[in-house]
Amino acid sequence: MADDLEHIEKELFDSLFKQYNNRLYGYILNITKSATVAEELTQEIFIKLWLSKELLKNVENMDGYIFTIARNKTFSYFRKAANDTAFLKELQGYMRNKASVNNVDDKLATITYDQLLGAALEQLSPQRRKVYELSRKEGMNMDQIADELGIAKNTVKNHLVESLRTIRQYFTEHGADTLILLLFFVR
C-alpha cells in the first residue's frame, strides 16, 4: 500500500514537472532576466515540490500554488541579493583592484559602466534614485533606508527591485556586454 501511494505521488510529481517546468522557467526568466537564476530557482521550486509531494494531491488550484511558490522564491532571491551588501562590497573591491592593474580593457569597461549607470540613474524617479544610492553607494540596509527616508521597508524593497530592473533594462537596451553587466551587479 505504501509503495502504491509512493508510486502515485511520483507520477503526480512527474506530471507536474512536465507540465510546469518550461512555464516556471519562462516566468522566472521574465522577472529576473537571468537564465542562470531562472534555472536555479526553477530547480529549487521542484525540489520543494518533491519534498512535499504527499501534500500535492490536496492542492485545488495547482497553477496558483506553483506560481505563488515561484513568485515568493523569486522575490526572496531579490531580497537576498539586495541585502547581501557585504558580498557585493567584497566583489566590488576585487573588481576595483583588478581594474587598477594596467589593463586597458578593464578600465574601459569600468568607464563605460560608470557612464551607463549615470545615464540609467537619470531614468529613475528621485525617490528610487535616492533609495538605490543609499543602498549601493552608502551600503545601507533596507531598515536603515526606511528609517532615513521615513518610508515603509516594503516600499524600499519595491524601489530597489524596480531600480535594478530599470537599470538592467537600460544597460541591455544600450548594448552593455556581459562584463559591464557583471560590474553592475558587483557595485
CB neighbours of residue 15 within 10 Å: 12
Residues 128 and 51 both lie in one domain: no
The number of angstroms, rounded, from the C-alpha of 38 to the middle of its chain's C-alpha atoms is 9
Residue 141 cell numbers, joined? 540596509
Structural domain that includes position 177: 85-186
Question: Residue 154's domain is classified under what CATH number?
Answer: 1.10.10.10
Residues 40 and 123 both lie in one domain: no
Reported as a single tens digit per residue, the pLDDT across 75-117 is 888 877 766 655 556 556 655 665 454 455 555 556 666 777 7
Residues 153 and 74 both lie in one domain: no
Residues 59 and 40 both lie in one domain: yes
Give the model's confidence band at 166: pLDDT under 50 very low, under 70 low, under 90 confident, else very high: confident
Residue 108 cell numbers, joined? 574601459
Reported as a single tens digit per residue, the pLDDT across 140-159 is 888 999 999 999 989 999 88
Please tell me the pTM assigned to this model: 0.45
Long-range (24+ apart) CB contacts under 8 A made by 16-19 are: 16/49, 16/56, 16/62, 16/66, 17/46
Q: How far apart are the C-alpha atoms of 81 and 66, rounded to whole Å?
A: 23
